[in-house]
Amino acid sequence: MIILGLNCFHGDASAALFRDGELVAAVEEERFNRFKHSGGFPSNAVRWCLYKGGIDPREIDYVAIPRKSNAHILRKLMWAARLPASSANRFKALKNFISLKEQLAFCFGLKPNDIKADFKFVEHHLAHMASSFYTSSYENAAVVSIDGMGDHASMVWGVGQDNKLIIKDYVYFPHSLGFLYTAITQYLGMQAYGDEYKTMGLASYGNPKYGDVFEQIVKIGNSIDFKLDLNYFTHHNRGIDMTFETGEPHVGPMFSDKLIETFGPSRVPSSQVTIHHKDIASSLQKRIETVVLELLTRIKYSSGQQNLCYAGGVAFNCVLNGLILAETGFNNLYIQPAAGDAGLAIGASLFVYHHVLGNSRKFVMNHSYWGPEYSNDQIYDVLKDSGSKYSTKDESYIFDHIASKLTEGKIVAWYQGKSEWGPRALGNRSILADPRNKDMKEILNQKIKNRETFRPFAPSVLREKASEWFEDTTDSPFMLITYKAKKDKIKYMPAPIHVDGSARIQTVDQTTNPLYWNLIKHFENKTGVPALINTSFNESEPIVDTPKQALETFKRTNMDVLVMGNYVIE
């Protein structure tokens, strides 16, 4: 049975292909069209997934779409009637779904009637929940999705049991923890779609001195719910100015004059970040942690489950994620790498396969390498055409040579195998550096990244060594959980440790990424430190996809070494 999942006409457009419940390929459209978080229809991602699977589009049995226009229809209509006609873009987007079959056929030069697939529509948060539960190894789990909004809800929780997913309760628009984080991020002058993670990084530099204000802005209810004080926002009366066409999505301002009256003028983008801004970020982060941890604790009690599967954009808050096991009573936590809306393509597919069609479970996502890959021959062609000087080396030479270069302070672009599913580079499209050098963050920023100075870089750590260097570690293959570094170890690995003593680590498993594991192992043999700084292989655009993009980014920036497959360029 072939199922194609599509997140389309929404941020982070993506496609995923399943054969008999096993994931064949998954990739975000941004990797191809080079617009970060691209919306629209993921034509390139669809073509690549079918090519990878050797599937003719006429053979697809089901197309799974993570949106259900008749879900909560009365609520949707009520709000659509209240909002100004010009601002109800999210409601307008529904019309695009009429032509899905045409769009899919058009990708392959076919007629709509050539597509025989049955189109199945899955509610947004059910798809988020399914993306986590059905890719986890848990037979039973509490399942929680928290984001800005999808199908009129912002938080949904339920229980996954074997191949079924049962919803227990919703929190509806306009109350939304995701929109709260977005609104404050905008107020802090970070206005690009998906900038919320910058606020999280900034929060560690401040004090939560505005706790009382944020307790007023978001209140925990008596059940598993919360409410925003809407006086601080505009989304409930002006609508949400969002565009999700092909290209980078845009979200208009969501905070009201009341927020400006409370905290003063909003920060002008690119102006200095002051302690006031850091304190606001800190207060927001602290309040989000308090609210989500309380809700998860109630879900733990209400569900009686030991395992938590978590998804939605808020599940990218890795500082909060690092507190979940200690604070909520859950024993195990699983978040798949594309926890945000890209992951909906996987979730919708698996919801159809398991919950709707009743098939049993067998797939577990224990790595993130589901994207495009290019052979050594293809890499060779690019290098030859470019006139670049290169050498060809075998693996053992590469591990030793590159580990030595890293100990000398060189910055290495590491391009191997299939690209990562989700926003994190996890050792196949990565820029690597020595974590022992406390100045390496500044060096990386000067040479390549040019990021805000308050944003941390993160380490990849050998899985079996993580507990020696960090407190209370669990498996963290997708870099979505923050752990405290052991105090006596920080001096040996200062660069990727954040100002609060934490790090968003990736635990690297020898079986799921032997190349990357071996490189880190060689670095450990030379230095005693079983870790490397790992940041995504890009400058400011989406993570590089093709060897040509990798080479161009390498040449444009000041990296020292590029390793693509067996080719070394210095």
Number of residues counted as binding Fe ion (CB under 5 A): 3
Closest contact distance (angstroms) between CB of 65 and Fe ion is 14
If the CB atoms of residues 29 and 147 are measured against Fe ion, the closer one turns out to be 147
162 to 221, contacts with Fe ion by CB under 5 A? none
Residue among 39, 42, 150, 477 that touches Fe ion (CB under 5 A)? 150
CA distances from 104 to 58, 92, 108, 529 (A): 10, 20, 7, 49
User: Can you give the length of the chain in residues?
Assistant: 570
Please give the structure tokens belonging to residue 319: 């500082």
Q: Which is nearer to Fe ion, 315 or 431 (CB)?
A: 315
CB nearer Fe ion, residue 279 or residue 341: 341
How many CA within 13 A on the CB side of residue 84?
A: 9
Phi, psi of 15 (to 5 degrees): -135, 150
Taking residue 519's Cβ as centre, other Cβ atoms within 10 Å add up to: 27
**Least distance (Å) between residue 551 CB and Fe ion:** 35
Neighbour-count burial for 98-136, b at 16+ CB within 10 Å, e otherwise: eebbebbbebeeeeeeebebebbbbbbbbbbbbbbbbbb
Of the listed pieces 36-44, 146-154, 229-237, 507-515, which binds Fe ion according to CB under 5 A? Answer: 146-154
Nearest alpha carbon to residue 469 among 433, 432, 436: 436
Region class of 194: left (phi > 0), else alpha (psi between -120 and 50), else beta: left
Whose Cβ is closer to Fe ion: residue 175's or residue 418's? 175
Positive or negative: CA dihedral 325, 327, 329, 335: negative
Which residue is closest to Fe ion by CB? 147
What single-letter DSSP state applies at residue 486? P
State in angstroms the smallest separation of the CB of 194 from Fe ion: 12
Binding-site string for Fe ion from residue 340 to residue 359, where x marks contact by CB under 5 A and - marks none: -x------------------
Q: Which amino acid is at 232?
A: Y
**Distance of alpha carbon 503 from the chain centroid:** 17
Contact positions with Fe ion (CB under 5 A) in 312-341: 341
Separation between Cα atoms, residue 355 and residue 137, nearest integer Å: 16
Least separation in angstroms between residue 299's CB and Fe ion is: 18
Q: Which residues pair with 394 in a beta bridge?
A: none
Round to whole Å and give the CA distance between 152 and 468: 45
Determine the Cα–Cα distance for residues 148 and 92; give it in Å rounded to an integer: 18
Q: Which residues contact 277 (CB under 8 A, 6 or more apart)?
A: 188, 189, 202, 206, 267
Residue with smaller CB distance to Fe ion, 150 or 372: 150
Encoded amino acid at 181, one letter: Y
Nearest approach in angstroms of CB 221 to Fe ion is 21
Q: Which stretch binds Fe ion (CB under 5 A): 91-99, 142-150, 302-310, 536-544?
A: 142-150
For residue 135, the 8-state DSSP code is T
* In the complex, minimum distance from the CB of residue 196 to Fe ion, in angstroms, rounded to a whole number: 13
CB closer to Fe ion, 66 vs 547: 66
Element spanning 200, H or E: helix 196-203
User: CA 548: distance to chain centroid?
Assistant: 25
- The stretch among 148-156, 233-241, 346-354, 528-536 that binds Fe ion (CB under 5 A) is 148-156
Q: Are 39 and 245 in contact (CB under 8 A)?
A: yes
Q: Which stretch binds Fe ion (CB under 5 A): 147-155, 160-168, 516-524, 537-545?
A: 147-155
Among 30, 147, 196, 434, binds Fe ion (CB under 5 A): 147
Contact by Cβ (8 Å): 426, 480: no
Nearer to Fe ion, 147 or 196 (CB): 147
The token pair at 307 is 């395992």
CB of 124 to Fe ion, least distance (A): 6
In this complex, which beta carbon is closest to Fe ion, that of residue 122 or of residue 493?
122
Cis peptide before 174 (omega within 30 of 0): yes
CB of 17 to Fe ion, least distance (A): 21
Output the six-digit token pair for 451. Answer: 């990021």
Q: Which CB atom, from 123 or from 341, has the smaller least distance to Fe ion?
A: 341
Footprint of Fe ion on 505-544 (CB under 5 A): none
13 residue type, one letter:
A
Which window, 46-54, 140-148, 164-172, 489-497, contacts Fe ion (CB under 5 A)?
140-148
> With respect to Fe ion, which residue has the nearer C-beta, 183 or 448?
183
Cβ pair 390, 383 in contact under 8 A: yes
Residue whose CB is less far from Fe ion, 176 or 283: 176
Two structure tokens written together for 357 = 């069609």
Output 47 or 75, the one with its CB closest to Fe ion: 75
Of the pair 316, 334, the CB lying nearest Fe ion is at 316
Query: Cβ 484 to Fe ion, closest distance in Å?
Result: 30
Residue 239: beta bridge partners? none
AA identity, residue 356: V
Q: How far is the CB of 147 from Fe ion (least distance, A)?
A: 4
Nearer to Fe ion, 71 or 497 (CB): 71
* Residues forming the site for Fe ion (CB under 5 A): 147, 150, 341
